[in-house]
Amino acid sequence: MHPTHPQHFDPATIRGDFPVLSELVYGKPLVYLDNAATSQKPLSVIKALNDYYSHSNANIHRGVHYLSQKASSMFDDVRLQVRDFINAKSEREIIFTSGTTDSINLVAATFGRKFIGQGDEILISAMEHHSNIVPWQLLCEEKGAVLKVIPMDDDGVLLLDAIPSLLSERTKLVSVVHTSNSLGTINPVKEIIALAHQFNIPVLVDGAQTVAHEKVDVQELDCDFFVFSGHKMFGPTGVGCLYGKETWLEQMPPYKGGGDMIQSVSFEKTTYNELPFKFEAGTPHISGVIALGEAINYLNKIDRNAAHAHEMALLNKATSLLMEIEHVRIIGTSKNKSSVVSFIMDGVNAMDVGMYLDTLGIAVRTGHHCTEPVMHRFKIPGTIRASFMFYNTFEEIDKLAEGIQKAKGLLRRN
Ligand code: PLP
């Protein structure tokens, strides 16, 4: 059961922290319901970017001068923040990347290079984002390995019973999404990890849609890798993280070669830097990392249980209102869902609905949401997806439902 809406959580106050939410679109108040694509940014994050370039800009880990030392220590401090944010054992286990996609590619390129060979198997699920499919396909093509898929039912729930028969002594990695971006399903990753670990198989969890909505504890999950993007959790674009258990990261070869990831270089032999720097070649997204630290500060300041309860209340309201609309069908009806409602309207193209809602100032996403296999599973070309964050309001859900009613009147008649 979803928790009930707490009395004390006030989205109106929270909204004040996000300047873009006061924008007008075509003269109408913006109703931003595309949070699964990217979250909006609080002023403190925007200010951190500006402050960094105004007062602290320098390259890191290289300079003896004041600014370089300052920027380096600001950057390094965020690694400690991320460690605590996901409860990793050590900051050596936190690698800064450009985002979820980059983090998964890193694991595919390095873990894959070392541990996956001809005839080995990688198990993913039927509801993966393309970024947790294609890197493995590239690896399989290169190595002659095989990609296997955990199926799901008509509610968009993974069939856990199928997992044991999909695991074999050739399975080298399980890589699953925690929260589906197109269905909203929250997968029982802890159970999947425990199952895989019975066979000593490591597990990567794609947490792109999780970190903004629930607290993550990688030690409690016992996942081997956990990946996420800054921009989906109030931070800037172009920055993200890979958490990896030290035992794995130590064994994996470097990803990209260049500055900062080396201990010493000669034409005969190069030795690599220690963790986590071994995986961070070149000048990183310094301002992005520092602003990500500010996003974590922001999240740490709000009552996350109340925020989560509010999102569940938004989800429940949207679900009930949409279920009342004839010719509208929700895709993704798992009992355990994040604040995402994907739906189709019989006889109407999803993009037309999205474009009509846009004229009302309502931002939703339409299409396959980078999960084409999910659309194939449901035999549909795409959905309309409204995804909520704790700064959304019940009034906005009403506007969404009214907009869908109007879209139906207009588009189904034509
Ligand atoms: N995985 C999931 C579940 C996602 O929702 C997304 C983005 O929508 C990604 C991976 C890719 O994230 P990014 O584009 O930030 O690398």
Q: Whose CA is nearest to atom 5 of ligand 1?
A: 181
**Cα(228) to centroid of ligand 1, in Å?**
8
Residue 365's nearest CA partner among 240, 205, 232, 238 is 232
Residue 355, pLDDT above cutoff 70: yes
Amino acid 172: pLDDT: 98
Amino acid 8: pLDDT: 62
Q: Which atom of ligand 1 is nearest to the CA of 240?
A: 15
Residue 63: pLDDT band with limits 50, 70, 90: confident
Residue 292's nearest CA partner among 78, 51, 99 is 78
Cβ proximity of 325 and 408 under 8 Å: yes
Which of helix, strand or coil describes residue 124?
A: strand
Question: What are the residues facing 367 on neighbouring strands?
Answer: 383
Amino acid 45: pLDDT: 98
Residue 3: pLDDT band with limits 50, 70, 90: very low
Residue 123, pLDDT above cutoff 80: yes
| Number of other CB atoms surrounding residue 212 within 10 Å | 27
Residue 78: pLDDT band with limits 50, 70, 90: very high
Q: Is-same-fold flag (11-32+303-413; 46-300)?
A: no
Amino acid 62: pLDDT: 81
Cβ proximity of 243 and 88 under 8 Å: yes
Return the domain boundaries, the chain.
11-32+303-413, 46-300
Average pLDDT over residues 259-268: 93
**Cα(128) to centroid of ligand 1, in Å?**
10
Active-site annotation holds for 370: yes
Residue 66, pLDDT above cutoff 90: yes
Cβ proximity of 363 and 30 under 8 Å: yes
Determine the CATH number of domain 46-300: 3.40.640.10
Q: Measured between alpha carbons, how far is 20 from 378 in angstroms, rounded to an integer?
A: 35
Amino acid 10: pLDDT: 87
Residue 372, pLDDT above cutoff 50: yes
End-to-end Cα, the chain, rounded Å: 40
Residue 314's nearest CA partner among 400, 216, 211 is 400
Angular region, 134: left φ>0, alpha ψ -120 to 50, beta rest: alpha
Q: Which atom of ligand 1 is nearest to the CA of 131?
A: 10
Which of helix, strand or coil describes residue 285?
A: coil
Cβ proximity of 344 and 328 under 8 Å: yes
Residue 328's nearest CA partner among 303, 316, 346 is 346
Residue 327's nearest CA partner among 386, 223, 405 is 405
pLDDT, tens only, 226-242: 999 999 999 999 999 99
Residue 296, pLDDT above cutoff 60: yes
The mean pLDDT value of the chain amounts to: 96
pTM for this model (two decimals): 0.97
Average pLDDT over residues 109-136: 98
Residue 8's nearest CA partner among 227, 221, 246, 310 is 310
pLDDT, tens only, 305-320: 999 999 999 999 999 9
Q: Measured between alpha carbons, how far is 195 from 201 in angstroms, rounded to an integer?
A: 9
Cβ proximity of 194 and 187 under 8 Å: no
Q: What are phi and psi of 191, to 5 degrees?
A: -65, -40
Task: Kindly provide the residue ranges of all beta strands, DSSP E only, lying in 178-309, ordered along the sequence.
Answer: 203-206, 225-229, 240-244, 262-265, 270-272
Q: Which fold has domain 11-32+303-413?
A: Aspartate Aminotransferase, domain 1 (3.90.1150)
% of the chain exceeding 90 in pLDDT: 96
Tell whether ligand 1 has an atom less than 6 A from the beta carbon of residue 210: no
Residue 210: pLDDT band with limits 50, 70, 90: very high
Residue 110: pLDDT band with limits 50, 70, 90: very high
Tell whether ligand 1 has an atom less than 6 A from the beta carbon of residue 229: yes
| Number of other CB atoms surrounding residue 14 within 10 Å | 19
Amino acid 414: pLDDT: 55
Strands 262-265 and 270-272: antiparallel
